[in-house]
């Protein structure tokens, strides 16, 4: 699974309220949520990002409340992956469950804003424009499967049949 995109740099402790402010939690359409992504940090962020862009952050990304809206808004905005030194556990798992790749790496100290990077999840590395490779921990096979399918629900439907899974979801 290869991901390639332009880097947006963020700092430490980016909480879920910074990702998607609480006043928007009544919105159920992911595309509408995405329009408010990081709006209290970067004016008109949604209009500046391009499909495939990658967020690279410091420590404790996704801390705060356990709202699934945060990774959902990121994915719906077209962000292809989030790399951080560390993640809040619930954010990490929520991201995987909806098919948003999240990678633990110290890339924040190395890559530059607007740099194009490539992430190879199966072989475990991030490659910079200059060819430098940063090794990352490889995903276990079952998590790669969830990401390739686009999320946990899609994996369950593929494995057990869509007629048995998600009728009430």
Q: Where are the chain's structural domains?
A: 2-138
This prediction has a pTM of: 0.92
Res 142: pLDDT: 93
Pair 33, 20: CB distance under 8 Å:
yes
Q: List the 81-84 sheet strands across, edge first.
A: 102-104, 81-84, 54-57, 2-9, 116-120, 125-127, 133-135
Report DSSP state, residue 63: B
Q: What is the pLDDT of residue 132?
A: 96
10-residue stretch averages of pLDDT, the chain, 169 residues long: 96 96 93 95 94 98 91 97 97 96 97 97 95 93 94 89 64
Second-level CATH architecture of 2-138? Alpha-Beta Barrel (3.20)
């Amino acid at each position: 699974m290869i991901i390639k995109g332009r880097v947006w740099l963020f700092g430490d402790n980016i909480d879920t309220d910074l990702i998607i402010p609480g006043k928007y939690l009544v919105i159920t359409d992911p595309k509408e949520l995405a329009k408010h992504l990081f709006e209290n940090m970067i004016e008109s962020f949604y209009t500046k990002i391009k499909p495939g862009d990658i967020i690279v952050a410091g420590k404790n990304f996704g801390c705060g409340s356990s709202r699934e809206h945060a990774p959902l808004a990121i994915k719906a905005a077209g962000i292809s992956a989030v790399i951080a030194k560390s993640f809040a556990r619930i954010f990490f798992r929520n991201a995987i469950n909806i098919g948003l790749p999240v990678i633990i790496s110290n890339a924040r100290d190395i890559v530059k804003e607007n740099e194009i990077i490539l992430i190879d999840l199966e072989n475990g590395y991030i490659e910079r424009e200059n060819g430098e490779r940063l090794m990352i921990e490889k995903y276990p096979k079952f998590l790669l499967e969830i990401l390739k399918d686009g999320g946990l629900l899609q994996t369950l439907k593929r494995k057990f049949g869509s007629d048995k899974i998600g009728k009430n979801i």
